Structure 1
Amino acid sequence: MRLPAALRRHAEPAEVGGVARLDRRTKNLTKRLRPGEVAIIHHVDLDRVSAEALVATGVSLVVNAARSVSGRYPNLGPSILLEAGIPLIDDVGEDVFSLVAEGERLIVDGNRLLDAGGAVVATGTLLTTEVLEEQLEQARAGLSDQIDAFALNTMTYLREEKELLLEGVGVPEIRTRIEGRHVLIVVRGYDYRGDLDTLRPYISEYKPLLIGVDGGADALMEAGYKPDMIVGDMDSCSDAALRSGAELVLHAYRDGRTPALERVEALGLQAVVFPALGTSEDAAMLLADSYGARLMVAVGTHLSLVEFLDKGRAGMASTFLTRLRVGSKLVDAKGVSRIYRSQVKGWHLALLVLSGVVALVTAMAMTDVGGALGSVLVARLRDLAYWIKELFT
């Protein structure tokens, strides 16, 4: 499998640069990046969601201290950056975080990162399409090892969380009423914007309970909706979303510890704690199912095996089992926007307007008032025609 032809034609970039922004957590960095800046990250196996977030910021260059393709599996992120025309200097090493200061102006020259004075501060591999294709091909060869590890993680999760999965043991008490309702669970993941837009008629008609998973709460607010509940560790959720009035459910470690509790309390808010392994989207689905949701519609969640691996967590095996647990109630909105588009054309609208005019004229012609109005209109048109004729004679 080769990269798209448009991507293969991508040429090596000319000398570019900008102000440096650094963070070892890519999703934290994307919140403060501005167009034209240089993003310095530490992200092994750069995933699709993170790459799309970087592209959306308009950065001029991405510098990765780690390997963007480690060889574990054919991850999707690097090709997204190259396709967007953003150069990627890979595997420059940890020292870049001590050698480069936040806000420092940098220049990239080939595979080297230079400061404003021209001194080399880091050297790595400039990922071209040819280099990336070779790395992805090697990663595909080792994919079977990742499938074996995924299966092992699945069995481990099943042993440790079987009471939660089978009987709902450990689900916290909540104030939000879920019994018998439709529930829309939104994760800020793949294609969430398109699917949310496509689901607008469904949301308008069924008024589902809206659950945002971490940054999914902000996705709902960006789309014009107010979340009813927010589930997650709150590391990618804005203060505005937390203050929106939604009930907060903190996804905690198995022993009940959660770093989010301090942040929530600092905002003067209250929350319930849900200790569980796996991901926050799993916790949201299990919570909705345990409290009797009639139907769950998932937006932006992980679906395929490659997506599970692309998340970069061993815990993604829990999502496979969670979907088995709630499968009879779960409808996945992923990809709906790709297969459904409004088919309304301009001539459809013109035909609709014309039919309305015809119906109005017919109705007027069959009533006394309509007949009188028609006579007046005809008379005025004759007067107009006579006046125009007089102008030219």
Structure 2
Amino acid sequence: MRLPTLRRTRTVEPGIVTGTARLDRRTKRLVGRLRPGDIAIIDHVDLDRVAADSLVAVGVAAVLNAKPSVSGRYPNLGPEVLIEAGIPLLDDLGETVFQAVREGANVRIDGNTVLLDGEPVAHGVRQDAETVAKAMADAREGLSVQLEAFAANTMEYLKQERDLLFDGVGVPEVETRIGGRHCLIVVRGYDYKADLDVLRPYIREYKPVLIGVDGGADALVEAGYTPDMIIGDMDSVTDDVLRCGAEVIVHAYPDGRAPGLARVQQLGLSAVTFPAAATSEDLAMLLADEKGASLLVAVGTHATLVEFLDKGRGGMASTFLTRLKVGGKLVDAKGVSRLYRQNISGSSLLLLVLSAVAAMASAVAVSTVGKAYLGVASEWWDNLVFQIGQLLGRLF
């Protein structure tokens, strides 16, 4: 993911922002085209945190949403992320914004109005910390309804995929050796960068199978690793990473349709499909478990009810059952970076160096070879002092 650089936007006065419009109905696809200072136009009801984090990381000047960023169904986390980052959020603009604005157009935001060539083309709701906080409070009141729907989705998934969950039916054969090894499953989700950084010593020592879930494969490459396997519907992993040599598993619908397979084949790569109603991160866990992995370490995956709902898909219900299935060998790395950070102070480092020097000096002093070297060094030093003394005597 690109780090934000100097923005190209021009703020004319408070409340007014101008910039180049980039628009797409799929936020994660749009992020790949955005540049610092662009104005992102999205169609994303209940904006989730992962999408908001990616928009902040790019350094957009503003976000225009055709849909409500908080619908009230549940307390989604994305709008707060944008507001805290100081990025203007104009909400509920409707289809008009997609019909009126074209890719690359120079747009102007004035209050709650979007202008193109000085003419208003769409009106929305300008969100701020107060309006988002109120919307979130209202959404929390309706959380029980979403919990009931989540439970119903979970039971429906259990009916559809019980053979996969209990007996591993449908898990494809893979070439990557997994049996008896640790597997590190990376999703480009919450706190994945910090947790990957903290896990470096673990990766270096245990050399786990590196499994990237869609954009998680890019996250591994950005961290300096090469994934062994890529699993997903192939809508957010880049072409270069797909060509890295990893084994590719394409997530397919339960009826066997796999839209992502065509893209993989166009790149001249071979792949197998994995039909299931679960999410791609769940398939990665189920596959690794079925193939005999001794430990599953999850990075960036979803772990709490709010995170499941924040993802905004009924299919997230599969995550609950998947974790019940693999729970005995699953370690969630979420928050590891907050729990533990390696921190060596300067004084501790100096003490360590001095201790090493003292140990080396002691070892040299007590050994036969060391005593011989010390004798030579002492004689060399005496000769040097004698010669310096003679030179000073001649001068004075």
Normalised to the residue count of structure 1, the TM-score between the two structures is 0.92
Match of residue 321 from structure 2: 321
Taking the TM superposition and a 5 Å limit, the aligned residue runs for 1:354-373 are: 354-366=354-366, 367-373=371-377
Task: Give the AA of the match of 1:24.
Answer: R
User: How far apart are the structure 1 equivalents of 2:393 and 2:195?
Assistant: 60
Deviation at 1:130, TM superposition (A): 1.1
- Match of 1:99? 100
Corresponding residue SS for 2:108: strand
Q: Structure 1 residues 29, 368: closer, same or farther in 2, change over 3 A?
A: same
Q: Which residue of 1 aligns with 2:10?
A: none
**Partner residue of 2:7?**
none
Kindly state the Cα deviation for residue 182 of structure 1 after the two structures are TM-superposed.
0.9
Asked if the contact 1:15–1:108 (Cα under 8 Å) also holds between the matched residues in 2, the reply is yes
Map 1:1-393 → 2, pairs under 5 A:
13-115=14-116, 117-366=117-366, 367-377=371-381, 380=384
State the number of aligned residues: 380
Structure 2 portions without partners, runs of 5+: 1-12
Q: Deviation at 1:93?
A: 0.8
- Give, in angstroms, the shift of residue 194 of structure 1: 0.9
Q: Report Cα offsets for 1:102-125 as digits up to 9, x if no partner.
A: 11111111111112x321111111
* 2:215 partner letter: G
Residues 384, 340 of structure 1: CA spacing in aligned structure 2 closer, same or farther, 3 A cutoff? farther
1:4-37 superposed Cα distances (whole Å, 9 cap, x missing partner): xxxxxxxx95321100000010001111100111
After superposition, the Cα gap between the structure-2 partners of 1:384 and 1:229, relative to the gap in structure 1 and judged at 3 Å, is: farther
- 1:191-221 Cα offsets, whole Å, 9 max, x none, are 1111111111111111111111111111111
Q: Deviations over 1:109-168 (max 9, x none)?
A: 1111112x3211111111011111111111011111000000000000001111111111
Q: CA deviation at 1:359?
A: 2.7
Q: Quickly say closer, same or farther: Cα 1:390–1:53, change in 2 above 3 A.
A: farther
Cα-to-partner distance string for 1:40-82 (whole Å, 9 max, x where unaligned): 0010000000000000001111100100000011111011111
Q: Percent identity?
A: 62
Q: 1:339 to 1:383 in 2, by over 3 A?
A: farther
Alpha-carbon spacing, 1:387–1:239, altered in 2? closer, same or farther (3 Å): farther
Q: Residue by residue, what CA displacement relative to the aligned partner does 1:269-328 show, whole Å, maximum 9, x if unpaired?
A: 110011001100111111111111111111111000000000000010000000001111
Over 3 Å counting, the alpha-carbon distance change for 1:180 and 1:127 in structure 2 is same
Q: Deviations over 1:208-263 (max 9, x none)?
A: 11111111111111111111111110100111111111111111000110111111
Deviation at 1:389, TM superposition (A): 12
Quote how far apart the aligned CAs of 1:358 are: 2.2
Question: SS of the residue aligned with 1:53?
Answer: helix
CA shift for structure 1 position 329 = 1.2
Q: SS at 2:328's partner residue?
A: coil
Structure 2: distance between partners of 1:349 and 1:154: 52
Task: Give 1:388 deviation, angstroms.
Answer: 9.8
TM-aligned CA distance change 1:362 to 1:19, over 3 Å: same
Q: How far did 1:375 drift?
A: 4.5
Evaluate the alpha carbon distance shift between residue 369 and residue 79 of structure 1 in structure 2; reply closer, same or farther with a 3 A threshold. Answer: same
Instruction: Identify the range of structure 1 (356-365 vs 34-43) with the bigger mean alpha-carbon deviation.
Output: 356-365
367-376 or 285-294, larger mean C-alpha shift: 367-376
Question: Which residue does the alignment assign to 2:5?
Answer: none
1:145 partner letter: V
SS of the aligned residue for 1:17 comes to strand
SS in 2 for 1:362: helix
Q: Does structure 2 conserve the Cα–Cα contact (< 8 Å) formed by 1:88 and 1:126?
A: yes
1:149 and 1:261 map into 2 onto residues whose CA distance is: 32
Question: What amino acid maps onto 1:81 in structure 2?
Answer: L
Report the AA paired with residue 56 of structure 2.
Answer: V
Structure 1, unaligned runs of 5 or more: 1-11
Q: Give the Å deviation of 1:364.
A: 4.2
SS of aligned partner of 2:218: helix
> Are the aligned partners of 1:211 and 1:284 in contact in 2 as well (CA < 8 Å)?
yes
1:3 equivalent in structure 2: none
Of the structure 1 ranges 82-91 and 376-385, higher mean CA displacement relative to structure 2 is found in 376-385
